[in-house]
Homo-oligomer: A and B are copies of this chain.
Amino acid sequence: MAKSISFARGAPSLDIVDVEGLRAAADSAFTADPGGMTAYGTAIGYPPLREWIAERHQVAPEQVVVTNGSMQADAFLFDALVQDGDSVIVERPTYDRTLLSLRQRGADVRMVELEPDGIDVAAMERVLSAGARPKLAHIIPNFQNPAGYTLSAEKREVLLELAGNHGFTVFEDDPYVALRFEGAPLPTMLSMDQSESVVYASSFSKTVCPGIRVGYLVGPAEVIARVVKIATHTYISPNMVSQAIVHQFCLSGALERSIENVRNALRERAETLCEALSSELPEARFVKPSGGYFLWIDLPRGTDVGALFEAAAERGVLFVKGSDFVLAGAESSLRIAYSGVTPAEIEEGVKRLAEAYEQVRHAETVDAP
């Protein structure tokens, strides 16, 4: 079989990880604060990094908790805010792990359609008017996983208004924000919030590296205090060594250089992907992403993406089926992650994907009664 090409995993390739910058940051950290980074910390996270994050978001340090990756932060937040049977609004499609995490906690998950400019706020209003009393609305505002779409400034305002009027928390899950490769950045809902309606999450997985496992939450001090208490009971303190390394990486300027490097690579990969799809697989409908890792493809209605998955896998090409990101449906859709593949791999991968599509389409035609 030909060399495997994975469009499946939302992770960076090693060439866009600043290994030398990390090595230097580790060395600096062991010099700058050997005591602080080797001792047990507390569940708030490594204090200098917590302060750095607080300053970046213009909030008090008491509004920040730094965790072992942002998935762990999500889990703590859900433990703090979501009880069995509580209603939670999520985007359709949305990140499969969030969906699973909420359903495991017994949440009544309501999916609201995601449009190219973000969640359908009119549909959300209808759900709320019909009597839904959500505790939380989970929103990935920038370069959404899996769709790659970005929430417009107007819809950010509407969401905050709905949250204020209906008394729910907007969980602004924003790991991709720094990875914008075109257009102007939009303000976070956290920064626009006047009524303590937002808890914001982000991470260094996409700007430093995933293996360092450093994520964080920013929110009302009272909510953060509850999360810190749960975190204390779970693990005493998160990883101080890796948080001190991230802190030095930020201080040294390596973070900004790394972000620039990642953005440039992603821009090139996204362009290559869109061009290859347009020429090799013209049946694919998609919105060209302006940042992040992902592109969502809708194939003609009736296309069996389950069969496409098998046919692509036979050709060594992996992707994630659209149906993984919804409760039901999305059977003619798929997610392509372009973060872990080079432009050459993208071209080759799309060529094979198009071949797989031809095979599946042909089989369907033959099978038809």
Give the docked Cα–Cα distance between A94 and B241 (Å). Answer: 29
Residues 61 to 77 of chain A near chain B (Cβ within 8 Å): 68-69, 71-72, 75
Judge if A242 is at the interface, Cβ distance under 8 Å: yes
Judge if A344 is at the interface, Cβ distance under 8 Å: no
Contacts of A35 in B (CB 8 A): 14
Judge if A236 is at the interface, Cβ distance under 8 Å: yes
Judge if A22 is at the interface, Cβ distance under 8 Å: yes
Chain B nearest Cβ from A43, distance in angstroms:
11
Q: Is the CB of A213 within 8 A of B240?
A: yes
Q: Which of A96-104, A110-118, A269-277, A286-294 contacts B (4 or more CB under 8 A)?
A: A96-104
Q: Is the CB of B236 within 8 A of A69?
A: yes
Q: Is the CB of B235 within 8 A of A212?
A: no
Q: Mark A34-76, 1 if CB is under 8 A from B, else 0.
A: 1111111100000000000000000000000000110110010
Q: Which of A23-31, A80-88, A321-329, A354-362 contacts B (4 or more CB under 8 A)?
A: A23-31
Chain B nearest Cβ from A44, distance in angstroms:
14
Q: Mark A10-29, 1 if CB is under 8 A from B, else 0.
A: 01001001011011001100
Contacts of A241 in B (CB 8 A): 22, 209, 211-213, 241-242, 245
Contact of A38 among B19, B68, B240 (CB under 8 A): B19
Judge if A210 is at the interface, Cβ distance under 8 Å: yes
- Count the A residues whose beta carbon is within 8 Å of the partner chain — how many? 46
Q: Is the CB of A72 within 8 A of B234?
A: yes
Give the docked Cα–Cα distance between A244 and B239 (Å). Answer: 13
Give the docked Cα–Cα distance between A235 and B237 (Å). Answer: 15
Chain B nearest Cβ from A330, distance in angstroms:
22
Given known pairs A211-B239, A236-B97, A239-B212, the reply for A38 and B23 (CB within 8 Å) is no
Chain B nearest Cβ from A25, distance in angstroms:
10
Give the docked Cα–Cα distance between A101 and B75 (Å). Answer: 17
Contacts of A11 in B (CB 8 A): 39-40
Q: Is the CB of B19 within 8 A of A235?
A: no
Judge if A238 is at the interface, Cβ distance under 8 Å: yes
The 5 closest A-B pairs by CB, nearest first: A211-B240, A38-B209, A40-B210, A26-B26, A23-B30
